[in-house]
Amino acid sequence: MNRKDRRAQKTGERPRQQPPAPVQGLFEEAVRRHQAGHLADADALYRQVLAMDSRHVDSLYLRGMIAAQVGRHDVAVALIGEATKINAKLAPFHFTLGASFRALGRLEDAVAAFRRGLDLQPHDGAAHNQLGITLAQQGRLDAAIAAFGKAIALDRNDMDAYLNLGTAQHRSGRREEAEASFRTVIARHPDHAAAHNNLGTVQKSLGKLDDAVASFRSAITLNPTDAAMHFNLGNTLHDQLTLDDAAASLGRATLLDPTYAEAHNNLAIALKDAWRLDEAAASYRTALDLAPNHAEAFSAYLAFLHYRPELGGEHILAESRRFGEIFDRPSMPQRHPTLGDPHRRLRVGYVSGDLRHHPVGYFLASVLDNHDRATIDVFCYSNNSRTDDITARLRSGSDHWRSIAGLSDDEAAKAIADDGIDILVDLAGHTALNRLPVFARRPAPVQVSWLGYWGTTGLKTMDYLLSDAITVPPGNETGYSERIVRLPGNRFCYAPPADAPRPADEPPVLRCGHVTFGSFNNPDKLTRDVVSLWAAVLQAVPGARLLLKWSTLADAGVRRRLTAAFETAGIEANRLILRGKSPHAAMLAEYDDIDIALDPFPFSGGLTSCEALWMGVPVVTLPDTRASSRQTLGFLHALDLTEWAATSPTDYVRIAAALAADRTRLRNLRQNLRPRLAASPLCDGPTFTRGLEEAYREMWRQWCEGETIAGQEAHQ
């Protein structure tokens, strides 16, 4: 009796018998075929072995290995599971089983399998790494980081473990540690393209944009055909407002992988911001052709359509309804009874990615401050990890604050449903960081679009759209899939910022000797027709200047294209003043350099018009039937200053020129517009909020009484 047999006898184990010679020969030949990559032949031979010896554990295991190699992980789990029943003390069996469980999405089973293997073989660094990968997929990032740390402690040369560690650290918010992990890989392997790429990703999240660009360029030098690396570089250049370079990098991503829909979408955004609007339109269409189910790309395209004057409302409505047809999927079980109490305290949830320094944040602040807590329980669902002092103010004005950034649509919808929200209010529409697919799941019985968007969402699950009689006059309801509810006054309530400087005592024309027109609106709104009309205004007022300000005007390409457009319209470059971004209070102070604000069309100003008026600057606007063109008109109506609303392009020039000629009135306006705005309904937070709450109560009453609220039915 040999030592193995004596040990087995002592412990009660069955001694492992040597297989008969024919079985061993078949098995050895199967292994040779397996190692040579002839998987089908090897599998057939393993089958023959098992036909002769059904408990031949190595054949069971290796058949499972082949199944895993060809992607048949369900078969692998069954075969290797049988092998572990015969011999549960071989760690590789558990490790391979864990990998197949993970491939099947059975993450808890995978973790258990890896842990069983590590109990048997605790010094296997590669297995600790695989366990960490699985834990990270579960979102158990601290445990994953610990597992990767063990893998590295066992093998300091395991660069994959360092990469995985850095990724988990980044995901968990430990960005400086992640940066150090990726730098460790690069120090040992300077030609590791993925490490340079991952380092760039961390540096971008840390705001180190120059360093991130350098890292992405290093990655691309090492791996020039990787579309994702060009994508990352392009996005970072976009953040730097190096827009033509950003478009070039994103274009190389799309060339390397023409099916890369997200790259086409981001290319469209870069082209739009670079004031290359026709090219942007083509890229948006390509992105949607490639991925019609890409909600973010579809929303970006729909928002962009509102900047295109040649497209009518019927086209925008049709495209918006197409969005609804794709994404409407009410799936949340309703927690409310069919008939509710119409008088009880309502749980109202506001959903936005813009609860910060953003027009939505400024317009929402006064409402949250003035909600009647006896009748409204306020929930805010933030879809943005970035915060600032406005975020802090909004958070203090809510009863419950939830972050849904990073949650899947199903997870976010479940969180909202679990909160028992009665009325869920979308503050984004199709703008960036929206969560319309969450609304499409119907997590609340009543759903409303308000504030952050000017058009229809196209969702059948969006019941109402809050507006006013100026923005959406009676008779214009057919452009919406939602039922229009008009608030008593304006759809906005302006809360002037506490740090806004006082308006200058006099308009700049009195110190400069020439009139300065201006616009702080997004250049996306500056269509060729806008340029032509503003050029006509400048020609009607000899010596006048035009001051334009927006973040993208820091880009040389944007400045060059805008200047060329005005030169084509007959305006010399020296009559233009182009400025980039500045802090909010400093930006408001720059209204001291403007005598008269010019509103773009067909997309008028929103917050920009309120801020101009707050700083004592009159605003000339040209509304038409579109809601997006009537925002400034609503503000002027509230101030009883509708004489600044033109009825035609010719009238627009006349109004602007008349204001420019009346320096006494410009001085009076500089001193009197702010108190006039402060005393208007636009700044009356308590009254506005009571009207909003009455609208919510009526919506809830209708739901309790079982009335039809679907907008698409209301307008058929």
| Domain presence at residue 230 | no
- Band (14; pLDDT cuts 50, 70, 90): very low
Joined together, the tokens standing for residue 68 give 């895993």
pLDDT at 458: 97
CATH code, 196: 1.25.40.10
Q: Are residues 167 and 139 in the same domain?
A: yes
* Cα(311)–Cα(525) distance, integer angstroms: 14
Q: Is residue 469 part of a domain?
A: yes
Which residue, 150, 183, 203, sits at the end of a domain?
203
- Reported as type and span, the H/E element at residue 577 is strand 576-579
Q: Confidence class of residue 11 from pLDDT cuts 50, 70 and 90?
A: very low
Q: Are residues 551 and 596 in the same domain?
A: yes
Residues contacting residue 479 through CB under 8 Å, at least 6 positions apart: 313, 314, 316, 317, 455, 456, 627
Q: Report, in this order, helix, strand and coil percent for the chain, each rounded to 5.
A: 60, 10, 35
- Range 372-404 burial, b when 16+ CB lie within 10 A, else e: eeeebbbbbbbbbeeeeebbebbeebbeebbeb
User: What is the reported pLDDT for 386?
Assistant: 87
| Residue 533 and residue 450 in one domain | no
> Quick one: 514 and 432 in the same domain?
no
Q: What confidence score (pLDDT) does residue 9 get? A: 34
What DSSP character marks residue 644?
G
Domain shared by 367 and 424, yes or no: yes
Same-domain check for residues 555 and 484: no
Position 712 scores a pLDDT of 34
Type of residue at 700:
W
Q: What is the pLDDT of residue 313?
A: 83
pLDDT score at 329: 83
For 179-183, 311-315, 478-482, 615-619, which range has the lowest pLDDT when averaged over its residues? 311-315
CB 305 within 8 A of CB 319: yes
Q: What is the 3-state secondary structure (H, E, C) of 300-361?
A: HHHHHHCCCCCCCHHHHHHHHHHHHHHHCCCCCCCCCCCCCCCCCCEEEEEEECCCCCCHHH
Query: pLDDT tier at 8 (50, 70, 90 boundaries)?
Result: very low
Say yes or no: 58 and 162 in one domain. yes
Mean pLDDT of the chain: 93
pLDDT for residue 495 is more than 80: yes
Residue 44 confidence (pLDDT) = 94
Same domain, 426 and 514: no
Distance CA 306, CA 524 (A): 10
Place of tokens 């976009």: 238
The CATH number assigned to the domain holding 384 equals: 3.40.50.11380
What is the pLDDT at residue 572?
98
**Which pLDDT score, from 0 to 100, does residue 339 have?**
55
Angle (CA) 120-121-124 rounded to 5° is 155
Q: How far apart are CA 170 and CA 178, in angstroms?
A: 5
pTM for the full predicted model: 0.86
pLDDT > 70 fraction of the chain, expressed in percent and rounded: 95
Tens digits of per-residue pLDDT, 448-491? 999 999 899 999 999 999 999 999 999 999 999 999 999 999 99
Express each pLDDT in 177-204 by its tens digit.
999 999 999 999 999 999 999 999 999 9
Q: How confident is the model at residue 385 (pLDDT cuts 50, 70, 90)?
A: confident
Q: For position 706, what pLDDT does the model report? A: 84
Q: What's the longest Cα–Cα distance across the chain?
A: 116
Query: In percent, how much of the chain has pLDDT > 90?
Result: 91
Whether the pLDDT of residue 152 is over 70: the answer is yes
- Is 553 found in the same domain as 469? no
pLDDT of residue 336: 56
Residue 301 CB neighbours (<10 A): 22
- Do 704 and 671 have their domain in common? no
Q: Residue 308: pLDDT band by 50, 70, 90 thresholds?
A: confident
| pLDDT above 80 for 709 | no
381, containing H or E segment: strand 376-382
Do 449 and 565 fall within a single domain?
no
With cut-offs at 50, 70 and 90, classify the pLDDT of residue 309: confident
User: What CA–CA distance (Å, rounded) separates 226 from 194?
Assistant: 10
pLDDT at 494 over 50: yes
Could you write out the three-class secondary structure of 522-535? CHHHCCHHHHHHHH
Count of other CB atoms within 10 angstroms of residue 556:
12
Burial class (CB in 10 A: 0-12, 13-18, 19+), 148: buried
The residue with greater pLDDT, 389 or 310, is 389
Identify whether residues 625 and 698 lie together within a single domain. no
Tokens representing 407 are: 């949650």
Final residue of a domain: which of 174, 203, 232? 203
pLDDT attached to residue 10 = 37
> Does some domain include residue 292?
no
In a domain, 132, yes or no: yes
Residues 534/564, Cβ–Cβ less than 8 Å? no
Confidence (pLDDT) at 272: 96
Say if residues 713 and 510 touch (Cβ distance below 8 Å): no
Q: What is the pLDDT of residues 526-567, one digit of tens each?
A: 999 999 999 999 999 999 999 999 999 999 999 999 999 999
Last residue of some domain: 152, 169, 203?
A: 203
Domain of 592, CATH number, reads: 3.40.50.2000
Average pLDDT over residues 41-66: 93
Measured CA angle at 58 (ends 53, 63), to 5 deg: 90
Look up the domain containing 550 and give its range: 509-683
- pLDDT tier at 333, thresholds 50, 70, 90: low
What pLDDT does 537 receive?
A: 98
Q: By CB neighbour count within 10 A (0-12 exposed, 13-18 middle, 19+ buried), where does 505 fall?
A: exposed
Average pLDDT of 407-431? 96
Q: What pLDDT is recorded for position 713? A: 35
Is 298 inside any structural domain? no
pLDDT digits (tens, 9 = 90+) for 95-141: 999 999 999 999 999 999 999 999 999 999 999 999 999 999 999 99
- For residue 313, is it within any domain? no
User: How many structural domains comprise the chain?
Assistant: 3
The predicted pLDDT at position 171 comes to 94
Residue recorded with tokens 């990098």:
249
Is residue 11 in some structural domain? Answer: no
Cβ atoms of residues 227 and 246 within 8 Å = no
pLDDT at res. 12: 37
pLDDT at 20 over 90: no
User: What type of residue is 695?
Assistant: A
**pLDDT of 716 strictly over 90:** no
Is residue 54 situated within a structural domain? Answer: yes
